[in-house]
Amino acid sequence: SQQGEEDPQALSIQEGENATMNCSYKTSINNLQWYRQNSGRGLVHLILIRSNEREKHSGRLRVTLDTSKKSSSLLITASRAADTASYFCATCRDDKIIFGKGTRLHILP
Amino acid sequence: DSGVTQTPKHLITATGQRVTLRCSPRSGDLSVYWYQQSLDQGLQFLIQYYNGEERAKGNILERFSAQQFPDLHSELNLSSLELGDSALYFCASSRGPSSTPLHFGNGTRLTVT
């Protein structure tokens, strides 16, 4: 399976700190994406990084991709209470977009 | 608002029954994806349609079937329901056959009793 696996499963940090989540996958991919899910609601796309890219930024988000290690990381800088959510990586190969089980991020006031 | 509409929001039914979940994709999107989310299995890819044709298949049980209609809305049919089918079912849409990002609906919460 090419399913991504996020690490850690859960993360609690103080507001203002940076949060880092990792994703590992098993097979070659076309691109990798990160999504956010607030409790019980639909996932929201955050950022997409293509297999030939190594790093991408979007606002307070920074994503890296290491295809040799089949891994990606999502960094959220200067975290806010509103960042509390579950974060999923999704690997895209051909027409299948496969999600990992997610990292639950909790921002403490 | 993602523009993807899923109905119903909640569904409670008994084991052995059959239900139909409906999804209207975002305007202009031709691809529809179905996912099942349960606590222990995460988000499982079920099936993808593009412009009415099945495009990719994931871990979809034989008791489940789906289709995409000419107006691009999609339906997921779940039959002979079991307790383990209780989950959140998400529909997502995208512009092309393998383009991203995916735009998710808010899901249908299915409870099988």
The predicted-structure confidence for A9-24, as pLDDT tens digits, reads as follows 999 999 999 999 999 9
pLDDT score recorded for residue A96: 86
Partner residue facing B43 (CB), from A41, A45, A88: A88
Residue whose structure tokens are 């940076």: A18
Buried b / exposed e across B9-44, counting CB within 10 Å, b at 16+?
eebebeeeeebebebbbbeebbbbbbbbbeeeebbb
Q: How far apart are CA B88 and CA B29, in angstroms?
A: 22
Which residues of B fall within a CB distance of 8 Å from A99?
35, 42-43, 45
Of B56, B54, B53, B31, which Cα lies nearest the Cα of B45? B56
pLDDT score recorded for residue A1: 46
> Tokens at residue A62, please?
């920074």
DSSP alpha helices (H): ranges in B11-81? none
Element spanning B87, H or E: strand B87-94
Q: How far apart are CA A45 and CA A37, in angstroms?
A: 9
Q: Give the mean pLDDT of A32-54.
A: 94
pLDDT score recorded for residue B7: 98
Q: How far apart are CA B3 and CA A72, in angstroms?
A: 29
Q: How far apart are CA A2 and CA B8, in angstroms?
A: 31
Question: Could you report the per-residue pLDDT of B40-82, keeping only the tens digit for each?
Answer: 778 999 999 999 999 999 989 999 999 999 999 999 999 999 9
Question: Could you report the per-residue pLDDT of B78-95, keeping only the tens digit for each?
Answer: 999 999 999 999 999 999
Which residues of B fall within a CB distance of 8 Å from A42?
2, 4, 90, 92, 104-107
Question: Per-residue pLDDT for A92 more than 90?
Answer: no
Confidence tier at A95 by pLDDT (50, 70, 90) = confident
Could you tell me what percent of chain B has a pLDDT over 70?
A: 98
> Tokens at residue B61, please?
């049980």
